[in-house]
Chain A
Amino acid sequence: MAKSALLKSSLAKKYWMAFTGLFLCLFLVGHLFGNLQLLIPVSEGARDQFNEYALFMTTNPAVKVLSYLTYFSIIFHAIDGIALTINNRKARPQGYVSFKPSTNTMWSSRNMGILGTVILAFIVVHMTMFWGEMKFGGLDETIYTTANGEEVKDLYTLTIKTFQDAEFGLLWAIAYGVAMLAIAFHLSHGFSSGFQSLGINHPKYNVFIKKIGMAFAILIPLAFAVIPFYIHFVLEKI
């Protein structure tokens, strides 16, 4: 019984949701630290630093393991979420004429599926634009020669140009900002919910977890969102 309990039961779905979700929170922190390097002025060698970092991230075996874990988490989190949503719809075949969930729940907690879908769409676009371009885009005018003389994609220039583009730069930044808003709402429920699902709940620490969760949900997406606007409006043009 114990085995199937960890795979099939309703609680198992929660555990996996929480595990992958909290892992993705960690990933966000790592990703943010990388991105923050985009704020370094061009004149201070930002291009080199960022591209070397990108290279490290794509080649280091340990990072590779982590990145596969991340892909897996994203996919599993999404599939599990879809399965949960379908299952939960089935649990109430006949709906209410009058149902007022706003009286007892937060909007975000009820709309994790929608928020998740927006985020998934963002991830797809995001991956095609940067990661996909990096991996499969081929070498065109944006070439970066690494310290060991290898020629790779110049991810830095690609990124900066995207957001500094005269025609679409601002639109991209806004779209990015909207996606970050979705992540913020998703996290505002997801962070503390993950702890609850794993059974980490104690009257003494609940407030703390809730507060950290809220801070996390606001600060991390905000920091992400600031970067494209900074690139567009503040950073010297390249």
Chain B
Amino acid sequence: MNLTLKIWRQKNADTKGKVVTYQVADISPDMSFLEMMDVLNEQLIEKGDEPVAFDHDCREGICGSCNLQINGEPHGPDRGVTTCQLHMRRFKDGDTIVIEPFRAKAFPVIKDLVVDRSSFDRIQQAGGYISVNTSGNTQDANSIPIEKDNADMSFYAATCIGCGACVAACKNASAMLFTAAKVSQFALLPQGEVEADRRVLQMVEQMDKEGFGNCTNTGACEIECPKGISLENIARMNREYLKASVK
């Protein structure tokens, strides 16, 4: 199929960007979205133009690198997939596709479609861990039985890939779903409970410092999350934080 692409181009963080229109031809419906981008880039290189910069790595939906805003939605129109798992069979011949970087003050553009998501790292550095030493002198793994449901819920929260779709989809550019997933993962386990208060206070403080917006419970994040991280996690963080701040 033949497509018209409207892509955000921006040389670097300090220059202004603009939307540039490109045509690609003979796209197979079996291609992934990023393979379509590869075709475009090969075409650009051949013509002597600069290829479009975009983040990607594993191309199997787990590393969380790829992050394109496609036709107004993070990771495009499909649910439960990352950009690299989106396939071209989702589009029709002759379609126009608008491709933009994820937009947020806390995700400044580095180049073209590449943004800087180190704010996510800093939120986790603020407390997204359990303070145990890695020396190996820990107790036996089975000495703490954990209720299966809690272990499973913790796991689901921990499947967050940190792609930033929640922020991109949110009209407020809020990072609540991400932060909440990280808080929940530990809050649900007895090992993590010990320093739960400190963790949630510090992580939220860092989240606010990074310049993300507030959560207004629109729920866009949950729907656009490629891993289906639930809003329940946000409620859990709200509880955890309330509990920690009244103490």
Asked whether the complex places CB atoms of A and B closer than 8 A, the reply is yes
Residues in A lying within 8 Å of B, measured CB to CB: 1-3, 5-6, 9-15, 84, 87-88, 90-101, 103-106, 109-110, 112, 189, 192-193, 196-203
CB distance from B209 to the nearest CB of A (A): 10
Please give the number of chain B residues whose Cβ is less than 8 angstroms from any Cβ of chain A in the complex: 52
Which of B201, B208, B211 touches A2 (beta carbons < 8 Å)? B201
B67 interfacial by beta-carbon distance below 8 Å: no
CA distance A6 to B72 in the complex (A): 35
15 new A-B pairs (CB below 8 Å) besides A98-B69, A192-B217, A197-B215? A1-B205, A2-B245, A5-B205, A88-B174, A91-B213, A91-B214, A104-B73, A104-B219, A104-B220, A105-B220, A196-B235, A199-B235, A199-B237, A201-B236, A203-B232
Q: Are A100 and B73 in contact (CB under 8 A)?
A: yes
Residue B105 at the chain A interface, CB threshold 8 Å: yes
A105 engages B245 (CB within 8 Å): no
Q: Is B234 an interface residue (CB 8 A)?
A: yes
The smallest C-beta distance from B167 to any residue of chain A, in angstroms, reads 9
CB proximity of A185 to chain B, nearest CB, Å: 14
| Residue with the highest number of chain A CB atoms closer than 10 Å, among B214, B223, B246 | B214
| Residues of chain B at the chain A interface (Cβ within 8 Å) | 6, 8, 19, 69, 71-73, 77, 98, 100, 103-106, 109, 169, 171-174, 201, 204-205, 207-208, 211-220, 223-224, 231-232, 234-242, 244-247
Contact (A1, B169) CB under 8 Å given A98-B71, A98-B100? no
A106 CB to closest chain B CB (Å) equals: 7
Residues of A contacting B77 in the complex (Cβ-Cβ under 8 angstroms): 103
Q: How far is the CA of A201 from the CA of B240 in the complex (A)?
A: 13
If the complex has contacts A88-B213, A91-B212, are A197 and B238 also in contact, measured as CB distance less than 8 A?
A: yes
* In contact, A6 and B212 (Cβ under 8 angstroms): no
In this complex, the member of B73, B174, B216, B234 whose beta carbon has the largest number of chain A beta carbons within 10 angstroms is B216
On whether the beta carbons of B103 and A94 are closer than 8 Å, the reply is yes
Distance in angstroms from A16 CB to nearest chain B CB is: 12
Cβ contacts under 8 Å, A198 to chain B: 238-239, 242
Residues of B within 8 A of A202 (CB): 232
Residues on B with C-beta less than 8 A from A90 are: 105, 211, 213
The 4 closest A-B pairs by CB, nearest first: A199-B239, A201-B235, A91-B213, A100-B72
What separation, in Å, do the CA atoms of A84 and B170 have in the docked complex? 14
Contact (Cβ within 8 A) B235 A11 = no
Nearest chain A CB to B49 CB, angstrom units:
21
Q: How far is the CB of B202 from chain A (nearest CB, A)?
A: 8
The distance from the CB of B184 to the nearest CB of chain A, in whole angstroms, is 11
Across-interface contacts of B223 in A (CB, < 8 A): 103-105
Find out whether the CB atom of B245 lies under 8 angstroms from the CB atom of A97.
Answer: no
A10 to B174, CA, bound (A): 10
B69 touches A96 (CB 8 A): yes
